[in-house]
Amino acid sequence: MNIKCIASRVSLSFALIAIMAIGGCASMGSGSVSEKRQAILNMQQATLNKLYAEKPDTRAQISNAAGYAVFSNANINIIFFAAGTGYGVVTNKLTGAQTYMNMAEGGVGLGLGAKDYRIVMVFHTQKAIKHFVENGWTMGGNADATAKAGDKGASADGEGYLGGVSVYSMTESGLALQATVKGTKFWVDKALN
């Protein structure tokens, strides 16, 4: 067996291990439907509090928005493969509806590390919320550097604006250096809705 073949198998094995590990990291675990919902709502509030503290102008932006979503995601990148899973909730401020959703991502590129991060999406129109909940959403491309544990360390967190949606990401913890092309899919969690 040549070196290239061995390296390919090792990389593939690491990728599969990473995907299984990610599934466990982002899982809601055991508990009743109401306990899982409450855990997501607690994560949502803690994330919004952190966002407001780090970027105070977002409080007014969310207050005036049609709705918002908050997601928790765990991501692992091993050499050429990246994978991640997460969960969250979309709040429609007009109707008061809360839609619990899941997310998964996968990609290729150069990188090494793992990180736990939060995504806040601010929907500026009802059309944007409806499209997101009904169709999910796929994003691509990522380049970041993270070295953070609790309150110590630093990360290059970002924000963007795409089709009626502002997106903010904040790293909770992790150590990662990666430049990947990846897709992220969001979908409604039928068990929690």
pLDDT tens digits along 5-45: 544 444 444 444 444 444 444 456 678 999 999 999 999 99
- Looking at the domain assignment, is residue 193 inside a domain? no
pLDDT score, position 14? 46
pLDDT score, position 173? 54
Mean pLDDT, range 102-124, rounded to an integer: 80
Task: Please name the helix (run of DSSP H) or strand (run of DSSP E) that holds residue 185, with its range, or none.
Answer: strand 165-188
Determine if the pTM surpasses 0.75. Answer: no
- Looking at the domain assignment, is residue 182 inside a domain? yes
CB 169 within 8 A of CB 158: yes
Examine the pLDDT at 162 and tell me if it is beyond 90. no
State which residues form the domain around 117. 3-188
- From 139, 143, 145, 190, select the one nearest 171 (Cα to Cα): 145
Residue bearing the bigger pLDDT, 79 or 153:
79
What single-letter DSSP state applies at residue 66? S
Q: Name the band, by pLDDT with cuts 50, 70 and 90, for residue 158.
A: very low
- Looking at the domain assignment, is residue 50 inside a domain? yes
Q: How many domains is the chain built from?
A: 1
Residues 6+ away with beta carbon under 8 Å from 1:
none
